[in-house]
Chain A
Amino acid sequence: MAGMKTASGDYIDSSWELRVFVGEEDPEAESVTLRVTGESHIGGVLLKIVEKINRKQDWSDHAIWWEQKRQWLLQTHWTLDKYGILADARLFFGPQHRPVILRLPNRRALRLRASFSQPLFQAVAAICRLLSIRHPEELSLLRAPEKKEKKKKEKEPEEEVYDLSKVVLAGGVAPALFRGMPAHFSDSAQTEACYHMLSRPQPPPEPLLLQRLLRPSSLSDKTQLHSRWLDSSRCLMQQGVKAGDMLWLRFKYYSFFDLDPKTDPVRLTQLYEQARWDLLLEEIDCTEEEMMVFAALQVPGRAFQSGGYLQGSPPAGTDPGLDDLDAALSNLEVKLEGSAPTDVLDSLTTIPELKDHLRIFRPRKLTLKGYRQHWVVFKETTLSYYKNQDEAPGDPIQQLNLKGCEVVPDVNVSGQKFCIKLLVPSPEGMSEIYLRCQDEQQYAHWMAGCRLASKGRTMADSSYASEVQAILAFLSLQRTGGGGPGNHPQGPDASTEGLNPYGLVAPRFQRKFKAKQLTPRILEAHQNVAQLSLTEAQLRFIQAWQSLPDFGISYVMVRFKGSRKDEILGIANNRLIRIDLAVGDVVKTWRFSNMRQWNVNWDIRQVAIEFDEHINVAFSCVSASCRIVHEYIGGYIFLSTRERARGEELDEDLFLQLTGGHEAF
């Protein structure tokens, strides 16, 4: 035992005094002094510390951190000598799990306790388990960007920080489902709200906020993000993260394994959110047409009916707009020829018709005629119009079968313009015709009919009613939120005010279009997604995102060996891309499947890669450390070894083998 001494008080063994600070790295912290020898085991030291502190507390999570060596002393059977600890070592006895604030892919902040002592890979896996996100190997943490000092302190609204730091997961067992969510979320209303935040898409952001947020303006800007990735093989403590720091949780590797909306709603939602923010902040470019689809997919029609969309939005009944809708709809029942549904069977076998006065316009060369009122009958998939109602039994002026036609909305809600443009195919070509409706209700019914007809279905189709609803819902959002960014109220309540189309598209489209121009474009794209459920829409959104040519490329600025200028290296899940920094053109692509080996020379910070046929590439990293490039390459190789058959367990060693290798550095 350490601390044997003579009667005079001199120590006669080789023991010495070891000072250990209690608490996190705080020089003012209380400290205890122990008498130890080089042979003392860490476990014994721990025990002594606890005895000395003499406080009743759960110390099980505590461990010793060696500040100078930036190392945890986790091997309790190792001796101090083995660790090489001498009396001058600054040791801290503190908790291994500490609170951090995570910025989630959906940009919400969440406080939870993360492991500061395990390699980041494991820490992320634990976080993902807590959040119930499968396949944690695809995610990682980044440092939050440094805040620029603003000249005038803008009064930033205190953002809500969700808290999961009290939640403790039982180890080993897969969390059971309870009330539709993993059991550990259902403890309190607070955690439940947290789960909803995680598993449901967030309302569209404020257009003003969008404009204010930083957007990359060039390729080199896009490299900034990737310089902030933390190192997977070292722990948070080693990387200088402090308790309470803000970290970003993001999907790092764009290789999403086995996306299943049923089993992982959180993962799907967060992936969707990351995709959405990528698009909104122009991290990834898309065309105008694609943007409209993305915009429409953010507001799937059915989501409104299920009420699952906007968090905290009032139930439909309290919304005056929707009340109006209901009233108008019931009026419409009378308007549409026929009586109330007395006989269900009847309604099943009869294909409903629409008959009404509509104004019709047929654009022709050399004609000045505008819209003219006609009596229009819409039966099955065929649209017939007559001069007036009396002639209806006779031959129509024209009859159009809408099957396979293109339906384009031409709507301006504030201008009360509700037109449907039809491009009807015929053997001779397409004929164009415009139907002008009087109001939203009429429009929604005819529009829904046209859409179904274009797909060869009739209004007897079961989706007709929901189609009508979806159109109305979208229009009502337009009505309440259709203004420009200027007249849009700010503040947390804004989301309940309605939908601002500017919140759905990247800011460059805000500059390009006025809100009222944007609305019909989104509406047009919306018609194809109106029937999707929330989850389907999310999945579709992710798929569309994945199909973008620039999807999944992480950019790093590098300088190739023998080159005199900086270039961009794009790293995707299957290839490396050399990109011209100025023009953005792809210079060369190498696929991982042709790669033989890659090496990192940590001294000169150079990555060298050998491909088949003796193609050798070497570059030094400029914008990020070569560790990040190395980890990306290794990570993608690792992800490509995953197999469906292998199931859930993760080969952590392999991952660390492939991405590590720089501990020595």
Chain B
Amino acid sequence: MGESSEDIDQMFSTLLGEMDLLTQSLGVDTLPPPDPKPPRAEFNYSVGFKDLNESLNALEDQDLDALMADLVADISEAEQRTIQAQKESSQNQHHSASLQASNFSDAAPLGYGTNVAAIGISQYEEDLPPPPADPVLDLPLPPPPPDPLSQEEKEAQAKADKIKLALEKLKEAKVKKLVVKVHMNDNSTKSLMVDERQLARDVLDNLFEKTHCDYNVNWCLYEIYPELQIERFFEDHENVVEVLSDWTRDTENKVLFLEKEEKYAVFKNPQNFYLDNRGKKESKETSEKMNAKNKESLLEESFCGTSVIVPELEGALYLKEDGKKSWKRRYFLLRASGIYYVPKGKTKTSRDLACFIQFENVNIYYGTQHKMKYKAPTDYCFVLKHPQIQKESQYIKYLCCDDARTLNQWVMGIRIAKYGKTLYDNYQRAVAKAGLASRWTNLGTVNAAAPAQPAQPSTGPKTGTPQPNGQMPQAAHSVSAVLQEAQTHAETWKDKKPALGNHQQPGTPRAPQAPKSSLPPPPPVRRSSDTSGSPATTPKVKGTGGGGFLAPPVDFLPPPPPPPPVDDPELPPPPPDFMEPPPDFVPPPPPSCAGTAGSELPPPPQPPVLAPDSTRPSPAVAKRPPMPPKRQENPAPPGGAGGGEQDFMSDLMKALQKKRGNVS
């Protein structure tokens, strides 16, 4: 404890010093005033419980421990701050245990009488007291000067931005957390804490830990709206808390943890989605015959180009008319920019199409039993709605397909159009996570090269995620910019992991990677530039990373201090690590508890010896296609070109085929 608070102390002071410096250079000698208001009114609540007590009771011991550790850390951190900064007061939470207790009981009555779900507000982080009476604060921000900034102004602006960044880090000290009840396949439930920076992927990893399931890629978080009878899986990159905050308080919605083959079906059998709609009979034959190599190249072609290819989908679907229970059959087409339909009397050429919906602001859901509920022609329905809409509304679009195959194609197609390359990245991360090495090893030599793609940091950031066409660039409302950043941080962490792994540093979830562009912080402050880890959150990181739940229940220790800053700017580029078995965000347990926790842990990470270094290079080389056979002197005389050419061409083609075969 002492060690960690010292650590925090040191970091915080460095940070403050840094800010001070910046402030002075701006000619302002006051400390930056703390943010006058908390970002949101409510900080913490739980999902899926009648009240908070229930939710707390439901937490397993270790979770509670982790929670306590967080709280204690909060307090100590607050104390640290008081010592450090004289002016600040509002930002830090001077909780006392009793205060929290009262908060909890206050929150309890908020629970609703429904049997499954209710959201109680469990504020273990207190609402902030009003901001200090600082007159300066009351001045609203005047609009920035409209004319182009001069050089000095730009510099000033840059500095200001940095300060702002630092302040944001401070703000992050207060991380919203939810206690979420997740329903399992066997009707049991698990409760876990989800913090607002966690993505569905993190939560899944967390659940893997808890359930000891096989780390199949099919596992997903699944949200169900009993009232609307719709459901969908969380995409791995989605922010869980953000999605859940769209639920109303009295919601009956549930979060499930289950296996769904549909989740990544396209990556397992791309031919069913990409090569389907021409000649049903034949395609079925080919789809059975499609070998791994061809699948691989099809996927590469569809997802790894400059832009993602959305499967060509078209056909008649039933559309529920607004506010009525009648269904109208229309001819719909899927394009990267949205769903279109063919207006009456028009052809299906691009110029005649009418836009039905674009995907920017809607999520896609499966409809269940809509035949009963809405008199749908079949039960193969899908629904498009804005994530915030929770009740019946004319803004919800219901569509109905003839069969399950069509339904799956449309849902997958829409997801590809909406999420683009992210979907593929998610999949590859899931594969890596699952350690499904078998899938790749079966493929022989290609195995190293193909999955290496997600780990190529150079291609991703450089070109950016290819946007599906027509989808306008936007920070998807479900994932705020910060979260995306956090995500990329998570990625970098993942990439770094093999390298860091050699140091055998347990308890270092998400080692923050200082972006070179921002403040080059001194070692302890290193994490100040990381969005996901601010000095104040140090203790929490453990909880958020998922590792927190593994915190040994016995000794209650805060996580070990961050690893000594290995000279990470100089880290060699991470080797592509698809084989990497250890969970990405769950660090190996601290040595102290290895003995006790070992039994319930997933297979221990493979020793670093297996790390890709040794195996990687050769397959990568093998992937390079050998030169096609050189052509011999063209012997074909003008007249007899036919025969001679044919031989040559077929030879060449065969050679090419063979070469491709070798490749994969």
Contacts and interface: CB of A to CB of B under 8 A. Distances in A.
Contacts of A574: 301
Interface stretch (A124-132, A164-172, A524-532): A524-532
B557 interface: no
A102 interface: no
A338 interface: yes
Contacts of A464: 144
B469 A547 contact: yes
A404 B387 contact: yes
A94 interface: no
B83 interface: no
B306 A338 contact: no
Interface in A510-551: 525, 528-529, 532, 539-540, 542-550
Given A287-B335, A289-B355, A602-B645, A338 B141 contact: yes
A210 B416 CA distance: 35
B649 A347 contact: no
A60 interface: no
A445 interface: yes
Nearest to B336: A547
Contacts of B620: 645
B338 interface: yes
Size bin of chain A's contact surface: 35 or more
B395 interface: yes
A303 B473 CA distance: 17
Nearest to A642: B625
A661 B649 contact: yes
B297 interface: yes
A351 B349 contact: no
Interface in A318-369: 325-326, 329-330, 332-333, 336-341, 343-353
B278 A465 contact: no
A427 B637 contact: no
Interface in B233-258: 246, 248
B143 A349 contact: no
Contacts of A289: 337-338, 355, 358, 470
A351 B143 contact: no
B26 A344 contact: yes
Interface in B6-42: 23, 26, 28, 30, 32-36
Contacts of B278: 586, 588-589
B136 A346 contact: yes
Given A588-B278, A593-B294, A350 B36 contact: yes
B627 A651 contact: yes
Interface in B329-364: 335-338, 340, 347, 349-351, 353, 355, 358, 361
Nearest to A550: B350
Interface residues of B, number: 108
B474 interface: yes
A239 interface: no
Interface stretch (B109-117, B156-164, B216-224): B156-164
A528 B475 contact: no
A665 B641 contact: yes
A25 interface: no
Interface in B638-661: 638-639, 641-642, 645-646, 648-650, 652-654, 656-657, 659
Contacts of B156: 344
Contact of B389 (A326, A344, A429): A429
A161 interface: no
A347 B144 CA distance: 9
A548 B310 CA distance: 9
Contact of B645 (A259, A545, A601): A601
B610 interface: no
A658 interface: yes
A257 to B, nearest CB: 9
A657 B393 contact: no
Contacts of A545: 469
A110 B404 CA distance: 57
B441 interface: no
A654 interface: yes
A87 B277 CA distance: 65
Given A287-B353, A545-B469, 17 more contacts: A262-B462, A285-B350, A285-B351, A339-B139, A349-B34, A349-B167, A350-B137, A428-B390, A429-B395, A455-B474, A464-B144, A469-B146, A508-B351, A543-B466, A547-B335, A584-B347, A610-B650
Across the A-B interface, the 7 shortest Cβ-Cβ residue pairs: A547-B469, A429-B393, A528-B472, A352-B141, A329-B146, A597-B653, A285-B350
Interface of A: 256, 259-260, 262, 285-290, 293, 305, 316, 325-326, 329-330, 332-333, 336-341, 343-353, 403-404, 406, 425-430, 445, 454-457, 459-460, 462, 464-465, 468-469, 508, 525, 528-529, 532, 539-540, 542-550, 574, 584, 586, 588-589, 591, 593-603, 608, 610, 637, 641, 643, 645-646, 651, 653-654, 657-658, 660-665
Interface of B: 23, 26, 28, 30, 32-36, 136-137, 139-148, 156, 160-161, 163-164, 167, 246, 248, 275, 278-279, 286, 294, 297-298, 301, 305-310, 312, 335-338, 340, 347, 349-351, 353, 355, 358, 361, 386-391, 393-396, 462-464, 466-470, 472-475, 477, 480-481, 620, 623-625, 627-628, 630-631, 634, 636-639, 641-642, 645-646, 648-650, 652-654, 656-657, 659
